[in-house]
C-alpha cells in the first residue's frame, strides 16, 4: 500500500523493495520484524537514534512476563488471579479496588491485563529460540564508508530509508 501526501516529494529514490517496513528497533519493532520474517516476508527496520533498541535499550531490556518458560522449567506456575491483582494494582493504583471482580478497572483495561497474562509467555516462547540474522543494507554500508565513520559493531548510517531516520537494518 502506498501513501501520498499533498506537496510531498521524495528526497531520494527508493533503492529497495521489501514486504514490511518496521520503524523503530525496540522490542516491539524487533518482535514485529521477527514475526514477519519468520512468516516469509522481507523486512527492513529503520531507526532514527544513534543506536538500535529504542526505549527498550533505555530500560536495560528487562521485562516481566508471567508464566515464562524459565519459571515453568522450574515447576513454578503463576497464579492467574494473584497476577491479575498485581497487574491491576501496579498499572492502575488509583483505580484498584481489591473486592471488585475487575479490581476497579474498566472492562477494556481488565481484558488487556487478562490478555497479557494469558498470551505474553507464548510470544516470548516463540521468539526466544529463533535466532534472527541481521545485516546492514548495502546503501547504509556505502554511505557510512564514504563518510569514514565505520566502527566495528556499530550500525552504519543509511541515506535511503525515511529521510528523518538515520539507521537501516534488514532482517534476512
What letter would DSSP give residue 157? Answer: B
Q: What is the dihedral of CA 75, 79, 84, 87, to 10 degrees?
A: -40
Yes or no: say if 65 and 34 are a contact pair by the CB < 8 Å rule. Answer: no
Of residues 161, 83, 160, the one with CA closest to residue 120:
83
- The angle, 0 to 180 degrees and rounded to 10, between the axes of the packed helices 27-38 and 107-127 is 60
Strand partners, 168: 46
Phi, psi of 105 (to 5 degrees): -90, 160
Residues 70-129: tens digit of each pLDDT: 888 899 989 999 999 999 999 999 999 999 999 999 999 999 999 999 998 888 777 776
Q: What is the pLDDT of residue 75?
A: 93
Yes or no: say if 167 and 46 are a contact pair by the CB < 8 Å rule. Answer: yes
Residues 136-153: tens digit of each pLDDT: 544 444 433 333 343 444
11 pLDDT band (50/70/90 cuts)?
A: low
Q: What is the pLDDT of residue 107?
A: 96
Q: What is the pLDDT of residue 101?
A: 95
Amino acid at each position: 500500500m502506498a501513501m501520498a501526501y499533498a506537496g510531498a516529494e521524495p528526497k531520494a529514490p527508493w533503492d529497495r523493495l521489501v514486504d514490511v517496513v518496521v520503524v523503530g528497533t525496540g522490542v516491539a519493532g524487533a518482535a514485529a520484524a521477527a514475526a514477519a520474517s519468520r512468516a516469509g516476508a522481507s523486512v527492513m527496520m529503520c531507526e532514527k537514534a544513534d543506536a538500535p533498541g529504542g526505549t527498550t535499550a533505555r530500560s536495560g531490556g528487562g521485562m516481566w512476563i508471567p508464566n515464562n518458560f524459565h519459571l515453568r522449567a522450574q515447576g513454578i506456575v503463576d497464579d492467574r488471579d494473584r497476577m491479575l491483582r498485581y497487574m491491576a494494582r501496579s498499572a492502575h493504583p488509583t483505580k484498584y479496588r481489591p473486592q471488585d471482580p475487575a479490581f476497579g478497572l474498566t472492562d477494556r483495561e481488565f481484558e488487556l491485563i487478562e490478555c497479557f497474562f494469558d498470551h505474553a509467555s507464548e510470544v516470548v516462547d516463540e521468539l526466544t529460540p529463533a535466532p534472527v540474522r541481521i545485516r546492514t543494507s548495502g546503501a547504509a554500508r556505502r554511505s557510512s564508508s564514504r563518510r569514514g565513520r565505520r566502527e566495528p559493531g556499530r550500525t552504519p548510517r543509511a541515506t535511503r530509508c525515511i529521510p528523518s531516520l538515520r539507521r537501516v537494518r534488514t532482517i534476512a
